Structure formats: C-alpha cells, structure tokens
C-alpha cells in the first residue's frame, strides 16, 4: 500500500486500524463509507474517492482491473476469457449458455424446495474443476510463491449445507471428494447484521483462503425474517442493495 500515489503514513496507519491492509482491500471500499469510518475532518469523501481511485489505477496497471473506459475489443477479449462452471446437467447448462459464468454474480431464485441449495452443493464440486490446487502463484519477480490452494467460501444462513451431499456429488462426478471438502470454507450466519459484517470483511477472507467462488445460501432469508411489514421494506431493500453492490465490486476484481 506504501506504493499508492500521495498516500501519507498517517492515512496508512488509519487504514490499518480499520484492518485494511492491502491494495485489493482498499480498492473495493466505497468512498462515503471509508470517509465515515476514518472519521477525520481532513479526510472527506473527495479525499477517500481520490485515494481509492489511485489504488484502482495500480490494479489497472497490473491488469487485475479493467480500465475506467475500455474499448469494445478490450471488452470482447475480457468476455472471451470468462469461463463457465458446468452444472453437470446438459439441459441446465444449455439453459445457462454453458454453465455459471465466472467473474460475475449469479442470483438463483425459485420456490421453496425447487432445488436452489442443491445447485449450490453441485456448484462446489463443479467449480473446483476450474481451480488450481497447487497453490502456486507468480509474484512481482515472476517467481512462484506458495499460497493456499484456490477455494470456495460457503456462507450459510439457513444451516442447509451438508458436507456429505458434496461428497456424494463429487464421487458421482469422479472427483476427489476429500480434496473438494478441504477447499470449502463454510460459515454459519444467524443474523442480518452478522451477514452484512461478513460481506463487508469478505475481501480479507478471500485473500486469506485464496477464494475463487463465494456462495451465499441464502442472501435474503435473514433480512426477510427480520424486516417484516411494509414499513421496513425500504430499509431492507437498501441494506440488501448495499450487500449486492459490495459483492459486485468483489466479483469485478
């Protein structure tokens, strides 16, 4: 982070106090929230926006993030790089034009018992086939460094995750179930506040566990249960919107 243009040691200290320790974590902050959290009269929303902008430039230079304005052929190249996780069902894959897209958010909606959680379990096994499990990464000098093998974070708000079901699906796909289960980081969540905090702090967990896929099953159930009645609808939608906006920014990088 010291390499970010115009960053002062004072700002660095304040960011570290907020547990923001990397360029990646800083780049996905929202300027208004960061200014509020830093709580310093000399660090307003404009300063936060400038700092985040400079940080994003570093990621653009390193080709981790797309340029602010991209040409059509850049977009086509990016689009061609998108892979798809096959669901294992040819009909469902055809419906999704080949499977679930990487670098994006997919929302699954359906009636109770229609199979949304089952799709999440299947996705765990399907996604691993596109991930590296050697944990090797090229660093700035082009040398390899050891990282955790690529992984999945499964955020469970309804206590429906079943490791034995993933095991069963993996076996059926002739994959190594033990390897897959070792690379799924599961977390039970019991309140809307806990979910919002977890999503806020997700960049740290994504870096720590070298995560390539985040599954939230379900994103709406806690908010739906806690915000009942028409009077609370506006606040509920605003809070859901904030979480989705954060997830969209994470998927971008």
Ligand X SMILES: Nc1ncnc2c1ncn2[C@@H]1O[C@H](COP(=O)(O)OP(=O)(O)OP(=O)(O)O)[C@@H](O)[C@H]1O
Tell me if 122 contacts Mg ion by CB under 5 A.
Answer: no
Based on CB atoms, which residue is closest to ligand X, 167 or 250?
Answer: 167
- Residue 165 binding target from ligand X, Mg ion, none, CB below 5 to 8 Å by type: ligand X
Of these, 6, 39, 107, 113, which contacts ligand X (CB under 6 A)?
Answer: 113
Mode of pairing for the β-strands spanning 144-146 and 151-156: unpaired
Question: Phi and psi dihedrals of 217, rounded to 5?
Answer: -125, 100
CA 97, CA 127: separation in Å to the nearest integer? 16
State the nearest-atom distance from the C-beta of 185 to ligand X, in Å: 20
Task: Give the number of other CB atoms < 10 A from CB of residue 251.
Answer: 15
Based on CB atoms, which residue is closest to ligand X, 66 or 221?
Answer: 221
Tell me if 57 contacts ligand X by CB under 6 A.
Answer: no
Q: At what angle do helices 202-209 and 192-200 cross, to 10 degrees?
A: 60
Q: Residues 6 or more apart from 19 whose CB is under 8 A from it? A: 201, 204
Tell me if 116 contacts ligand X by CB under 6 A.
Answer: yes
Site for ligand X in 138-167 (CB under 6 A): 158, 165
Q: Look at residues 72, 73, 101 and name the one whose alpha carbon lies nearest to residue 87.
A: 101
Of these, 11, 25, 29, 117, which contacts Mg ion (CB under 5 A)?
Answer: 117
CA 125, CA 148: separation in Å to the nearest integer? 18
Of these, 117, 151, 157, 192, which contacts ligand X (CB under 6 A)?
Answer: 117
Tell me if 173 contacts ligand X by CB under 6 A.
Answer: no
Positions in the binding site for ligand X (CB under 6 A): 110, 112-118, 158, 165
């Amino acid at each position: 982070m010291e390499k970010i243009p115009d960053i002062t040691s004072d700002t660095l200290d304040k960011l570290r106090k907020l547990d923001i320790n990397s360029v990646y974590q800083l780049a996905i902050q929202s300027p208004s929230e960061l200014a509020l959290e830093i709580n310093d009269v000399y660090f307003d929303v404009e300063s936060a926006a400038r700092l985040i902008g400079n940080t994003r430039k570093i990621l653009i230079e390193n080709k981790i993030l797309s340029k602010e304005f991209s040409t059509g052929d850049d977009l086509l190249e990016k689009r061609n790089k998108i892979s798809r996780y096959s669901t294992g069902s040819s009909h469902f894959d055809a419906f999704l034009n080949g499977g679930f897209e990487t670098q994006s958010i997919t929302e699954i909606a359906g009636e109770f018992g229609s199979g949304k959680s089952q799709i999440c379990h299947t996705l765990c096994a399907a996604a691993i086939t596109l991930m590296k499990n050697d944990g090797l990464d090229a660093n700035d000098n082009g040398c390899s460094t050891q990282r955790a093998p690529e992984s999945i974070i499964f955020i469970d708000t309804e206590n429906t995750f079943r490791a034995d079901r993933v095991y069963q699906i993996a076996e059926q796909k002739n994959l190594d179930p033990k390897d897959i289960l070792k690379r799924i980081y599961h977390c039970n969540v019991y309140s809307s506040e806990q979910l919002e905090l977890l999503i806020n702090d997700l960049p740290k967990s994504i870096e720590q566990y070298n995560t390539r896929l985040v599954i939230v099953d379900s994103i709406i159930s806690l908010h739906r249960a806690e915000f009942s009645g028409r009077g609370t609808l506006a606040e509920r939608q605003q809070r859901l919107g904030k979480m989705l906006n954060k997830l969209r920014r994470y998927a971008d990088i």
